[in-house]
Structure 1
Amino acid sequence: MFSGGVVTGPLLIGIFILAIAVLLVLIIKFKLNAFVALLVTAFGTGVLVNMPLPDVAKTVTDGFGGTLGSIGMVTGLGVMLGKFMFESGGIESISNKILKAFGEKRSPIAVSLSGFITGIPVFGDVVYIMFAPMLRVLSKKTGISMVNFACAISVATTCTFALVLPTAPPLAVAGELGIEIGIFFFYALISAFVGMIFGGIVYGAFLNKQDHKRNHFYTFEDLEVEEAALNTADNRQKMGAGKALSILLVPIILILLGSFVPLAVGEDAAITPIVKFLGDKNFAMMAGVIYAALISRKYLRQSITDIMTEAADQVGLILLITGAGGAFGKILQATGIADYVAGSLSQFSIPILVLCFLIAQIIRCAQGSTTVALMTTAAIMSSTIATSGVSPILCAIAICAGGIGLSLPNDSGFWAISRFFKISVTDTIRGWTLGGFVAGIAILIFVSILSLFQGFLPGLMM
């Protein structure tokens, strides 16, 4: 850690607040790209604390490179995997299968489950684009509030985006905290499911009752065009739901084997090096992409190379923003700001899991990006978590939970939900902003309960 400057104590808090404020102004007021805004803020923070200029440049570079080294490959491969599922029609098959199984009356539950599954390999905006016409038709047909459907799909999708590998935010948190990703995946997946149940399904049903009571419904006067589009949709052969799910399961099973087999047989067993190699996140995702390419080949309208190229184009900006978030986090660590912020908040005797959640939630509200909020919080809390006595796995989940709710109009996802589902700003706040917050609180309560048994549950105190 840098210690040669003269900036200490409360002034560090002031610089931290100023840095966050500058980041917000650059992104919200001046519409500066988040990648550039994060780098400007990172360099500026280092200069303000009197860090030697060569050290500022080196720290930013190391933070950027270290983050991409940890998650760059697997993020790119994850986007490719999702692209194969989408282009082959596998995502649509999964959704239709679930909707058929649950029926129209319980369709919000089916929508939540569809969003939960498709949110793992596919980014949120793509899910919203794909589901919006169908959900608007369902709302008109069933009389179920459109706000309920918007809540169900958006909360479920964001729970998986914020918590379930191989999406960028949980990968970044896992890399920052140095935790075992297979075990993290196992507990994070269960936690995300809990969030979906309470934030997407239970709270969504409450919204539906509210709207029925107030007779608050949308007229769908423009729906004829969308219904016609659905009726004349491409009738080409699509990948079945089972095959599509197997694409997800290949890397997941490999990662879980690499994490849990050594726990069962011991580190000295002959099979341990093999399963650890197969369960390495990069190898597992590569195997998943190759498998996806092979089984989806006959369902594709373009070549495998073209799909991989499009996926690589999509992932570029994501990696830049994530890497810049890592650079900003590294500056906060190296200057001592992270330790001082965490130490100051710890004086209030806030439980570590609640503290992880609160910091992530505050930064999420302030600047809008889930990825940036989780990266920054993980950097601030890493050393405190290491000495807290609470499982780093559970702390990581609490951080990720803080990045789910209270999405405000400074978040691009807020407008994506409002725009694609054609609901008002007020209804977007009701369905998504508050729904996500309910999901985050549910997950925080769940991991707090798990922490009571962390000495008995496998993998939590590694």
Structure 2
Amino acid sequence: MFGEKIVTGPLLMGIFILAIVVLLILIIKFKLNAFVALLVTAFATGILVNMPLNEVAQTVTDGFGGTLGSIGMVTGLGVMLGKFMFESGGIESICNRILGVFGDKKSPIAVALSGFITGIPVFGDVVYIMFAPMLRVLSKKTKISMVTYACAISVATTCTFALVLPTAPPLAVAETIGIDIGIFFFYALISAFVGMIVGGILWGKVLDKQDKKNNHFYTFEDLDEEEEQIEKKSSKELMGAGKALSILLVPIILILLGSFVPLAVGADSPIMPVISFIGNKNFAMMCGVIYAALISRKYIEKTATDVMTEAADQVGLILLITGAGGAFGKILQATGIADYVAGSLSQFSIPILVLCFLIAQIIRCAQGSTTVALMTTAAILTSTIAASGVSPILCSIAICAGGIGLSLPNDSGFWAISRFFKISVTDTIRGWTIGGFIAGLAILVFVSVLSLFQGVLPGLM
């Protein structure tokens, strides 16, 4: 009968593998929405482990609600923040300013930096849509390979998506493992920057040399319409780059104050209640959205309410998938599968940072979604990380790094990059799949070096 005994031993590993296989089949073979696929897998896993049926339902509910309760508000506010930056033309101004500083020859660096900044408040596909016409014109003008530009923007954007708050995946990892998000943000931002340099810029240079050597270039015969669109945009008054950056900085500064001031003044300081309040992620993001609405008024044709409503519409599916990922993770923890899988893998004496990266990378490669891979890995390794002696901050970054590379055709982002930049599947693999993997490896090496100094560096222990 159901609920008499929860399965133990090697059978747990078999059920876990079956659950992952079923999840992959539902998403890849049957094209089922990831939200529904995760819920089906979560319920099925609980039933197969013989958990009492009422506990299965309650655990799924608790996992879903707990995840959204911790990250739902800040994710929604983050999308609103990005929407104001996009509608006001602020993101375009940032990109134009950076391109103006670096010039044509170093434009791939400028593109990577632009993607790195815009990838924080704006989701990947929107960034690709926004940049594609400009990058194709740049490639035609500079004779720099289009694959190099695609590599620069896609790797940079995904580094921030996978690592930098307030995007959903790193926020979910931070909440699952229970780490301070301000300190995590600080080290994750630096790590993402390292990944961008190695995987987005340096690998992009290699691609450009390869394409020049092989005389491999795109003709851009269809560029007339895109060039006209760019000219029309240039006639519109845009928010300045400084103002646009200030929208990002308001919540970031507040969150960092809430995390680092206690390290300086001590937890017993009389100013701590105020610091904790203003550094709260939800309050900080709310302040950022209000500030964005106020300074964007003269640059947007829509009302602030319309912008917020459109942003809320965009965030719905993101929250559903994230919540379902939390439900699946909760089932893995409640049934003992997470502890058993982590314990089994630990027998191979794999360093914890490598283990974090490896599991996330395997799941990411297998089913395509960065969010699902990171949340599942965090759920599996939470207790192992706590007992490892390695900073949970660095372990969380290693997990996030595993979600960057080896994007295959089962990933919708793979096709977004190929479609919007109008490059072949082979070139998408060269620029994005391999470039992202190199970026993830670079971040893993970087956090491994940081772990040698975790007793000295602030906030890591």
TM-score (structure 2 length as normaliser): 0.99
Matches within 5 A, 1:286-435: 286-435=286-435
CA distance in 1, matches of 2:139, 2:12: 51
Shift of residue 233 of structure 1?
2.8
Letter in 2 for 1:98: I
Shift of residue 9 of structure 1?
1.8
CA distance in 2, matches of 1:425, 1:333: 38
Matches within 5 A, 1:252-271: 252-271=252-271
Matches within 5 A, 1:42-61: 42-61=42-61
Does residue 224 (structure 1) correspond to residue 240 (structure 2)? The answer is: no
Structure 2: 5+ residue stretches without partners: none
Shift of residue 4 of structure 1?
5.9
Find the residue that maps to 1:8 and give its secondary structure: coil
- Which whole-Å deviations, capped at 9, do the CAs of 1:412-448 have from their partners, x for residues lacking one? 0000000000000000000000000000000000000
Shift of residue 388 of structure 1?
0.5
CA distance in 2, matches of 1:354, 1:327: 25
CA distance in 1, matches of 2:269, 2:161: 35
- Which whole-Å deviations, capped at 9, do the CAs of 1:34-64 have from their partners, x for residues lacking one? 1111000000000001111001001000000
CA distance in 2, matches of 1:5, 1:61: 21
Matches within 5 A, 1:82-161: 82-161=82-161
- Which whole-Å deviations, capped at 9, do the CAs of 1:12-32 have from their partners, x for residues lacking one? 111111111111111111111
Find the residue that maps to 1:293 and give its secondary structure: helix
Stretches of 4+ aligned residues off by more than 4 angstroms = none
CA distance in 1, matches of 2:84, 2:5: 51
Maintained 8 Å contact 1:120/1:161: yes
1:214 maps to 214
CA distance in 2, matches of 1:271, 1:200: 42
Structure 1: 5+ residue stretches without partners: none
CA distance in 2, matches of 1:100, 1:124: 23
Find the residue that maps to 2:233 and give its secondary structure: coil
CA distance in 1, matches of 2:324, 2:377: 14
Shift of residue 6 of structure 1?
4.7
- Which whole-Å deviations, capped at 9, do the CAs of 1:255-302 have from their partners, x for residues lacking one? 000000010000111111111110000000000000000001110110
CA distance in 1, matches of 2:228, 2:88: 22
Letter in 1 for 2:347: Q
CA distance in 2, matches of 1:23, 1:440: 24
Maintained 8 Å contact 1:3/1:335: no
Letter in 2 for 1:253: I
Letter in 2 for 1:351: P
CA distance in 2, matches of 1:3, 1:435: 47
Letter in 2 for 1:55: E
Does residue 185 (structure 1) correspond to residue 185 (structure 2)? The answer is: yes
Does residue 34 (structure 1) correspond to residue 34 (structure 2)? The answer is: yes
- Which whole-Å deviations, capped at 9, do the CAs of 1:124-149 have from their partners, x for residues lacking one? 00000000000000101111000000
Shift of residue 67 of structure 1?
0.3
Letter in 1 for 2:102: F
Aligned residues with identical type, % of pairs: 84
CA distance in 2, matches of 1:234, 1:456: 49
Does residue 194 (structure 1) correspond to residue 194 (structure 2)? The answer is: yes
Shift of residue 3 of structure 1?
9.8
CA distance in 1, matches of 2:85, 2:213: 40
- Which whole-Å deviations, capped at 9, do the CAs of 1:324-356 have from their partners, x for residues lacking one? 000000000111111111111110000000000
Letter in 2 for 1:299: Y
CA distance in 2, matches of 1:406, 1:184: 24
Letter in 1 for 2:186: F
Find the residue that maps to 1:444 and give its secondary structure: helix
2:166 maps to 166
Letter in 2 for 1:440: G
Matches within 5 A, 1:235-274: 235-274=235-274
CA distance in 1, matches of 2:3, 2:109: 54
- Which whole-Å deviations, capped at 9, do the CAs of 1:168-202 have from their partners, x for residues lacking one? 00000000001000000000000000000000000
Shift of residue 11 of structure 1?
1.3
CA distance in 2, matches of 1:81, 1:230: 24
2:441 maps to 441
CA distance in 1, matches of 2:234, 2:325: 40
Deviates more, 1:214-223 or 1:148-157: 214-223
Maintained 8 Å contact 1:147/1:428: yes
CA distance in 2, matches of 1:144, 1:405: 23
Shift of residue 5 of structure 1?
2.3
CA distance in 2, matches of 1:3, 1:451: 43
Find the residue that maps to 1:287 and give its secondary structure: helix
CA distance in 1, matches of 2:227, 2:297: 30
Shift of residue 232 of structure 1?
2.7
CA distance in 1, matches of 2:182, 2:6: 42
- Which whole-Å deviations, capped at 9, do the CAs of 1:351-382 have from their partners, x for residues lacking one? 00000000000000111000010000000000
Letter in 1 for 2:417: I
CA distance in 2, matches of 1:296, 1:233: 17
- Which whole-Å deviations, capped at 9, do the CAs of 1:367-421 have from their partners, x for residues lacking one? 1000010000000000100111000000000000000000010000000000000
Find the residue that maps to 1:232 and give its secondary structure: helix
- Which whole-Å deviations, capped at 9, do the CAs of 1:191-218 have from their partners, x for residues lacking one? 0000000000000100100111111111
1:72 maps to 72
Indicate the RMSD between aligned Cα atoms, in angstroms.
1.1
CA distance in 2, matches of 1:290, 1:375: 30
Letter in 1 for 2:181: I
CA distance in 2, matches of 1:170, 1:76: 15
> CA 1:379 to 1:97, structure 2 compared with 1: closer, same or farther past 3 Å?
same
CA distance in 2, matches of 1:339, 1:417: 37
CA distance in 1, matches of 2:8, 2:204: 47
Maintained 8 Å contact 2:6/2:335: no
Shift of residue 234 of structure 1?
5.9
2:18 maps to 18
